[in-house]
Structure 1
């Protein structure tokens, strides 16, 4: 990255110092400004290549700084680094001229990459401006017709044949002057531009004082790239004012030179213009249309659909599990994955469809002029199937899925914003129901969205009013049939809606960060109840609890968990916490340290939904993991034979090799139980032994088990 003069403005001294230090380490000349007022003073006094500005600053905010910069230093690029992420703020910043928007807390690699892209763009614009200036200055020298001219200088006879051409044509196009003299200009001009060239020579309005200038493509010969862009300036020669033109008739069968012109190579300028235009309307990583171009095409498609009384569909696509892969393997691998995903998606499209990268791992797809829902449904299934096969990133094989929301015009909206927003809403409903699927937007979804605020209010009241209930699903020894553990599962006894299951409120709890308080209440109830069963002569009974990523990633996670166990006098060796692979891989180093602290206290660690995320034998081998829970989707594959159960076979065999316990989830049939027992699966849970039940039912179950044991 080339060194640049950068102004950093923020009202947070600590963040200001951190960002300044990071940029100075990259070799940049950095000036820091504590607050917007100081930033404006620096902009007035000094020249900068780029400014990185916070939005929320006292006295003078980031928007005012941007306005001041536009007045005093219009060439200074702006990057917003702010914790303000509302759509209104981001949109306003971009409208004010911000080149990019980085969310606090920022990732250093992402920030430097964004900075590099901004500086590259400014450099490209400066280069483009420089080329334009050189071309304008050289225009005054177009009459300079010696062989040392940087341009091709030529003369044509009345029929359009070369009478003279300087040696520059050999450098630029590969032709020698001698071979072109006497040949028609059609010989080197692109066929599609010949008619324009002929018209220019015949235009009676063209004179020496009013020459004709046009851009054409000229052919090259030999190993050079075909077709370079030239700016041709030509006009007829007045033999009265320049009688020497008759001397240039040696190669034209006695004909006099009739036209004079110059040809300037503007290929680099055209390529720069094309690149700038491409960059304005495309995503440079995937080469797909960006948000701006997608909206332009959608607006046009809506107009045509309305005029022709047709349907169209807008799809909103969000990749599943991309963040885990990106954070685990690095942003470079994440970029390669996005490019590979793009290639597969493009193979599913019809001619006329528009796939765009909307941002991050989100894509939008426009399907114009569709006949019915089935057209959109068929393409959605095709997209999902296309991403189902693994992606090979170096030595890593990774899996991603896609959640697709679909909005149809005019049923799901008759404007650009409505269609995109409703497709987005439908996509989030797919996420809430397990990801990797598609859904059409319905009015009921809009109602659900409107009810989110009331549901959030009710959930906060539920936490205050102790409306949450803990149900328990037995974990049973596959050989003895005895209950050895209980998984705590939350239910919400809503005062108006009745008993709600986790799928009805946990996604909202995660989004609103209420999941931490909710989980603490569930753990408190479970510890208190299970401790009673332990004291009631079930000393080895194990309590299994699911922990959310937000809980585990909290800096005081270990401290808070130990305090809860101490407050309820719950024995640590009877607790097993269940976390997913994705939680571990999000921050392997920190999570590893926390798990070792808990394992040292006797707490058991289980990996939930094993095999559905990013699996790595390395972390399984090196971390204090005691149990693997086989996801119920794999258990369903057991049909009484071994043909559909290869994944279960592999997981159980691996667990045996690593001396880990196995719990199979979702066991529902005798055939599944028999198959798992034969494999050597230690424990099972599922509807075969009944659904999750309240504490009263579990008490009866444990008492019956104790009676059977005595008999």
Structure 2
């Protein structure tokens, strides 16, 4: 390159850099001016609101002197040129005008809103009392300070532009030398994962799109595998994120070694991987590969100390049988992976029409449930809990029901899991608790003594930071004490994340709310563990009760639960009592309360009133 061409090249570079900086300067100046104007408008609106709050009484009582004194307070705000107070009929009541300022507000109130001009901003806002307009306030603010501020900013930016122009040539020269290296790095970042070195989600979706297009033209098939690493959070929690990244790298290496060279492996999320098994038309071949991957994931991973044990939950979508486009392929594999996790993790699951139908039904239920919460389609029924000795009603359990406007009654077994997955369980629980509190008050108002009502609370509600405040707020709303209700928590709550749940449950108990352990006997909660729980009631699971009285092992188990429960000061409730023989057996075993279809069906509030009258 000759000296002249080199000089022209740098001039062109400097010109392009200077032009870009000038454009940036103008954009920044415009943005700054816009924000300064918005701030000015906000300041004027705030002053108008404060004046409106202070002048309300003066406007209502036609106190012109006070109104004049209040409107005169704007003199302390240099930006205000003119202010006026108008009555509700639009006539002028009081005015402030800065010396030498032009009068622009007349004898009649101008319309509400903002009016911008080059010189000033006008704002007219109503004066309200208890939601009723009793007058209006008009303010006019000067733009002089805004233009002075923009001038100062413009001068500062010109200095920056001059400095930048001096450095532009040097910077642009360096930048151009680095462009090739940067382009290469950007390409690597755009297509490959920085932790594992595998293809990233973008590159994976490009490959999957090509695979789908190929099979749309040609015969044959492939398979898409979504792999979720089970319990990976424990690795990060126990060993830290640096070791976690090492494990992710090892997972990528292990997947690559387990698969063929032609297969595509990618990391598509935090602890999610995806695989395209190319030209694999047979589901049996795919299942064999999936089993090999599950076995590979079950092998421990080195962490430099204690090995990390994880697993793979794999969802499989056959291409093109299960999906013909990118979105449906990803969705199908993801749904299948979700079902693999529900099946106990560390396994694989093929996508099927049944899985797709369930997903669509769950989405339909979720949409309907959101509408049900808005339109009060949910209601509460109550199942009595009777004393095994006296036969009197000593407790009630609140059960939520949903009457869909088109489908009719929707089973709680369907909509409650959907509510938990969709994040609606908190709203659902709030509605149920409000219904229960209101019903208790109405029953008491009819002259009945209402026994404690048990309300079911899910594990996802327990870990809310304000669950205790929310329950007490509902009780206080209806003037009820904590003894009016009991909170039922499934046995699984005390097994999964015991530390986080124990703190929340302990806080509920300290507030005077009784805690009942529901479904006891369905999990692995030890009887010895009961001594350390802030519970007062233990409910024996229906799956234990249903084998009574004929099954000797079930009877021995029930007697053991009752004896130990009493020994640690718990009241025992048997749920699912469906025959007189079961009721008599439980009575002889010493169970305190009985609940089930033999004892009483779930009924609406008005029927509870009849039960209490007959009790």
Contact 1:328–1:585 (CA<8 Å) still a contact in 2? no
Distance change >3 Å, CA 493–CA 422, structure 1 → 2: same
Q: 397, 400, 405: which one pairs with 1:490?
A: 400
Q: Shift of residue 489 of structure 1?
A: 2.1
Distance change >3 Å, CA 328–CA 350, structure 1 → 2: closer
Asked if 1:440 corresponds to 2:371, the answer is: no
Q: Shift of residue 608 of structure 1?
A: 3.9
Contact 2:535–2:570 (CA<8 Å) still a contact in 1? yes
Where does residue 195 of structure 1 map in the other structure?
none
Where does residue 434 of structure 2 map in the other structure?
524
Contact 2:315–2:337 (CA<8 Å) still a contact in 1? yes
What is the CA–CA distance in structure 2 between the aligned matches of 1:655 and 1:399, rounded to whole Å?
A: 36
1:556-600, CA deviations, whole angstroms, 9 ceiling, x for partnerless residues?
332232121122233422311123567668886775555444324
Q: Shift of residue 649 of structure 1?
A: 8.4
Q: Shift of residue 519 of structure 1?
A: 1.9
Q: With CA pairs under 8 Å and 6+ residues apart, which has the higher RCO, 1 or 2?
A: 2
Q: Shift of residue 422 of structure 1?
A: 1.9
Asked if 1:556 corresponds to 2:461, the answer is: no
Asked if 1:468 corresponds to 2:394, the answer is: no
What is the CA–CA distance in structure 1 between the aligned matches of 2:592 and 2:524, rounded to whole Å?
A: 24
Q: Shift of residue 463 of structure 1?
A: 3.1
Contact 1:405–1:423 (CA<8 Å) still a contact in 2? yes
What is the CA–CA distance in structure 2 between the aligned matches of 1:669 and 1:372, rounded to whole Å?
A: 52
1:484-524, CA deviations, whole angstroms, 9 ceiling, x for partnerless residues?
43322222223233222335444554455443333222111
- Give the RMSD, CA atoms, in angstroms: 6.5
Number of paired residues? 441
1:255-297, CA deviations, whole angstroms, 9 ceiling, x for partnerless residues?
xxxxxxxxxxxxxxxxxxxxxx9xx67976xx99976887688
Contact 2:448–2:609 (CA<8 Å) still a contact in 1? no
| Residue pairs, 1:351-430, within 5 angstroms | 358-360=268-270, 362=272, 364=274, 405-428=315-338
Where does residue 536 of structure 2 map in the other structure?
626
TM-score after normalising by structure 2: 0.50
Where does residue 577 of structure 1 map in the other structure?
487
Distance change >3 Å, CA 299–CA 553, structure 1 → 2: same
Distance change >3 Å, CA 359–CA 472, structure 1 → 2: farther
Distance change >3 Å, CA 628–CA 311, structure 1 → 2: farther
Distance change >3 Å, CA 300–CA 587, structure 1 → 2: same
Contact 2:385–2:395 (CA<8 Å) still a contact in 1? yes
**SS of residue matched to 1:579:** strand
| Residue pairs, 1:183-198, within 5 angstroms | none
Asked if 1:694 corresponds to 2:599, the answer is: no
Contact 2:316–2:348 (CA<8 Å) still a contact in 1? no
What is the CA–CA distance in structure 2 between the aligned matches of 1:668 and 1:437, rounded to whole Å?
A: 39
Distance change >3 Å, CA 487–CA 539, structure 1 → 2: same
Contact 1:326–1:333 (CA<8 Å) still a contact in 2? no
TM-score after normalising by structure 1: 0.45
What is the CA–CA distance in structure 2 between the aligned matches of 1:441 and 1:578, rounded to whole Å?
A: 36
Where does residue 48 of structure 2 map in the other structure?
none
Contact 1:490–1:501 (CA<8 Å) still a contact in 2? no
Contact 2:220–2:280 (CA<8 Å) still a contact in 1? yes
Structure 1: 5+ residue stretches without partners: 1-40, 46-67, 79-94, 101-276, 707-711
Determine which structure has the larger helix proportion and give its number.
2
Q: 400, 415, 425: which one pairs with 1:515?
A: 425
**SS of residue matched to 1:527:** helix
Distance change >3 Å, CA 432–CA 371, structure 1 → 2: same
| Residue pairs, 1:660-679, within 5 angstroms | 660-663=570-573, 665=575
